[in-house]
Amino acid sequence: MWKLFFYIVTDLKIVIFVKNESIMKIQTIILSTLLILTSFIYSIAQTPKEYNLVDEKGNKQGYWEKRYENGNIQYSGFFKDNHPIGNLKRFDKEGNLKVEMEYLENSKKVYTKFYTNGLTLQAEGIFINKSKDSIWNYYSEKGYLINQVSYVNNLKQGTEKKFFDNGEIYEESEWKQGVNDGLTKRYYKNGKVSMRVFYMNGILDGEYNVYDINENIIIQGQYENNKREGKWIYYKENGLVDSEINYLNGVADNQKKLEELEHQYLEQMEQNKGKFQDPMDQMYNSIPPR
């Protein structure tokens, strides 16, 4: 018994006669072939026959592309009345993708992605009138999220987050109109808090507490107008008080003891170097070019 199959791709028609026992095998081959043909026909249909056109007013219309002296494309995309619409791509002279922008018609928002070497996503977010807006994500060279920043009119506004390479929070800080203002917390990779400090209008003002990896307090103090003030307490690993130092307008009443404590603290930090690395140390460009 014979069966008749019709496969239609746009205006292309294929008629094939097959036996029952060969239907599945032949059908698979045919469908694979037709997928290739469909992609080929679609690509031809999408290739602009004319480009770099301007209307009588001198406005860019349709598909545009600009090339470097070596022939590689500098940018490519579609325009309407001299404004980009849809996807616009920019490349470096070697042909690597640098920036990809998605323009919506009648909207000031431009969703933008920055790349390094044309492959790795470096940053993504929204521009409004060439200023960063809303949430921007920044990525390491290995591709994991290391920084998340909230912007309003190109200024940090709201909560900024930094991340370890395992995705855990490293730091949370508060910003107002581009200035650090409010509580900043840092964490160990195990999720425990390592530090709590307060900023006011960009300077330290308020509590300043440091914790060990099990979130036991090890330093407890206070800042006023960016200077240490009042009693600062240093704790031992067992939670008992090691030393107390009083400050007045940033000056310690026992400078020698302070120097000894800070030396011990620096030695401890040096021993832990590399264990709790700031993700920003791995960031090659936190603010990509516009």
The C-alpha atoms of residue 166 and residue 128 are separated, in whole angstroms, by: 32
124 belongs to a structural domain: no
Taking each continuous run of H as one helix and of E as one strand, the counts in the chain are 2, 23
Task: Tell me the chain's radius of gyration from C-alpha atoms.
Answer: 30
Which of 5-19, 48-62, 161-175, 176-190 has the lowest average pLDDT?
5-19
Residues 278 and 144 both lie in one domain: yes
Residues 143 and 9 both lie in one domain: no
Q: Residue 206 burial (CB < 10 Å; 0-12/13-18/19+)?
A: middle
72 belongs to a structural domain: no
Q: Cβ(220)–Cβ(209) under 8 Å? A: yes
Residue 67 has which token pair? 């090339």
Domain that residue 34 falls in: 2-46
Tell me the pLDDT tens digit for each residue of 58-101: 999 999 999 999 999 999 999 999 999 999 999 999 999 999 99
Rounded to an integer, the average pLDDT of 245-269 is 75
Residues 272 and 148 both lie in one domain: yes
Residues 142 and 277 both lie in one domain: yes
- Please give the tally of structural domains in the chain: 2
Tell me the pLDDT tens digit for each residue of 182-207: 999 999 999 999 999 999 999 999 99
11 belongs to a structural domain: yes
Give 268's pLDDT tier (boundaries 50, 70, 90): low
The C-alpha atoms of residue 188 and residue 192 are separated, in whole angstroms, by: 5
For residue 126, the tally of other CB atoms under 10 A from its CB is: 17
250 belongs to a structural domain: yes
**What pLDDT score was predicted for residue 255?**
73
CATH number of the domain enclosing 229: 2.20.110.10
* H or E stretch covering 25: helix 23-46
Residues 22 and 142 both lie in one domain: no
208 belongs to a structural domain: yes
91 belongs to a structural domain: no
The C-alpha atoms of residue 32 and residue 28 are separated, in whole angstroms, by: 6
| 4 alpha-carbon distance from chain centroid | 54
Residues 145 and 247 both lie in one domain: yes
73 belongs to a structural domain: no
Q: Which residues contact 86 (CB under 8 A, 6 or more apart)?
A: 77, 78, 102, 103
Residue with tokens 């004319």: 50
Q: Cβ(272)–Cβ(257) under 8 Å? A: no
Give 271's pLDDT tier (boundaries 50, 70, 90): low
227 belongs to a structural domain: yes
Give 241's pLDDT tier (boundaries 50, 70, 90): very high
